[in-house]
Structure 1
Amino acid sequence: MTGIACGWIEDGTVAMLEAGKRRDARARQQIVTETLAHLKPVRHPASYFVWLPMPEEVRADVVGKALMRARVLVSTAHPYATSKQVPHALRLALGSVDMDTLRQSLKTVADAVAKYAY
């Protein structure tokens, strides 16, 4: 296995695979821009994850449960919190579905956040 890994590093296979993944992640982040920019997501342009802070009047756990019922799985910030005060935010994974499903799922997220804002 070490020989294969070293060969891939030396022959450029790893660099090619990495470049392809970064292109894919950027395309997915563009969909985030198109669907969630008004919610001010926190993200890196070549990442497969997004932090979506909730507006002050919206609880992340309520939105997360509503999304679960809609079959869109997200995580609240709770499992990732390093302080006593857990941010009201959702963590969205972008890499596990095709682009059309991602676009629809992100629209569902935006609709759920809007529904629970008061």
Structure 2
Amino acid sequence: STQHTLNEIYIWSQLQHENIIPLLGITTNFGHTVSMVTEWMEQGNAHQYVRDVAVDPRPLVHQLVQLLDIAQELNYLHSHHSVIIHGDLKGENVLISKVGHALITNFGLSLSHTKGVW
């Protein structure tokens, strides 16, 4: 729905963290729906990344760095002035950067609450 999309755009546009992929803009150039524009992540999403047999086995240190990236992102979201609950954290919603860092994306099911008010 339009309200759902506007909520995602609003929440995502408020986020500034090195491991949350920035929302660069929005467009309607792909049909009649609003699409969100981000930087292209050559490594794809985490689900694809860990299943890519061409580069298996992955060094344990890379996996630990990616887990730390995600933990830092969640800490940022949960410490934000308006606590943000991602609501759909899974491998498909974590993109892998060119250098192997994990970045959270897709805030479509996110909820934002003012601290202390639930």
Question: TM-score normalized by structure 2?
Answer: 0.33
Structure with more strand by fraction: 2
Q: Which has the larger radius of gyration?
A: 1
Question: TM-score normalized by structure 1?
Answer: 0.33
